[in-house]
Amino acid sequence: MSFDLQTVATFFVLFISTLTRSTFGFGDALVGMPLLAIVHDDVSFIAPLMAIKAVTISLIIATKDRHRIDLPSASRLVIGAGMGIPIGVIFLLKVEASWVKLILAILILIFCLQSLFRRVPYRIQSEWPALGFGFLGGVLGGAYNTSGPPAVMFGTLRGWSPEKFRATLQGYFLPTGFLIAALHAGAGLWTQRVLLYYVASLPLVLAAIWLGRFLNQRFKPHAFVRVIHVLLMVISCGLIYTVLISW
């Protein structure tokens, strides 16, 4: 691996995407995948690289901040996602997947707009609705490999602090991330090149995780929630865009 412009750009994207995930608890794929697709034209390289990195981030944050994880909510999100993923796969095989993406993206967009302009924020008082949000995440993940937004919506409705929000999402992402990484490994996508880039980028990834934790702890809860809603709106608009250009 030579340190040419492509390599430097790859490491920069990995750092920025990790910083986003460590600061807000999600969003690394939103930042990393499109940018890496500009630098590399080989999805079979960037997808497993991002997946291994995502597992690393979740594992470190979940281990270090395990006392901040809302275990009842995280476990219900995972259970719900496990039930929803097969449904999403069925939609992918039997139904036009773009309709699944479009409907969920519109729901997320409406939720964000309503939350941003509502004077008194709505709050969910119980962790049981996490099953439903996890189920929606599983459907979206099975149909489009994007299971995060419903879990993020649930976290904002529960009114988690920035620290709890960041940590609890990793308790949800870690099992799904392991599954994705294992599937990539089983498919032979863990090539020598992928592993070499991963190992070489670890110092930058670890630095980004530390910096993200520092930034997360300095967010005021109200400002943090507004940023989360904006990020969700960007994700939903991106999903709508991908649907429209495919039609």
Examine the domain organization and report whether 34 and 112 are in the same domain. no
Examine the domain organization and report whether 137 and 246 are in the same domain. yes
Q: How confident is the model at residue 95 (pLDDT cuts 50, 70, 90)?
A: low
Examine the domain organization and report whether 110 and 194 are in the same domain. no
Residue 246: CB atoms within 10 Å = 10
Contact between residue 152 and residue 228 where contact means Cβ atoms under 8 Å apart: yes
Name the residue range of residue 12's domain.
1-69+167-216
Examine the domain organization and report whether 84 and 179 are in the same domain. no
For residue 76, the model assigns a pLDDT of: 94
pTM across the whole model = 0.82
Residue 188: CB atoms within 10 Å = 9
Examine the domain organization and report whether 111 and 27 are in the same domain. no
Examine the domain organization and report whether 180 and 147 are in the same domain. no
How far apart are alpha carbons 82 and 86 in whole angstroms?
8
By mean pLDDT, which of 94-108, 118-132, 225-239 is the weakest? 94-108
By mean pLDDT, which of 71-75, 116-120, 222-226 is the weakest? 116-120
Examine the domain organization and report whether 62 and 87 are in the same domain. no
Examine the domain organization and report whether 233 and 147 are in the same domain. yes
Examine the domain organization and report whether 44 and 101 are in the same domain. no
H/E stretch holding 152 = helix 148-158
- Between the two ends of the chain, the Cα-to-Cα distance in Å is 40
Examine the domain organization and report whether 180 and 227 are in the same domain. no
Examine the domain organization and report whether 88 and 185 are in the same domain. no
**Where do runs of H (alpha helix) occur along the chain?**
5-24, 28-39, 43-64, 71-94, 97-117, 130-144, 148-158, 162-186, 192-216, 221-246
Query: What is the residue whose two structure tokens read 């930058």?
Result: 204
Count: domains in the chain = 2
Examine the domain organization and report whether 101 and 145 are in the same domain. yes
More confident residue, 92 or 167: 167
Angle of CA points 233, 85, 194, to nearest 5°: 80
pLDDT digits (tens, 9 = 90+) for 164-223: 999 999 999 898 888 878 888 888 889 999 999 999 999 999 999 999 999 999 998 888
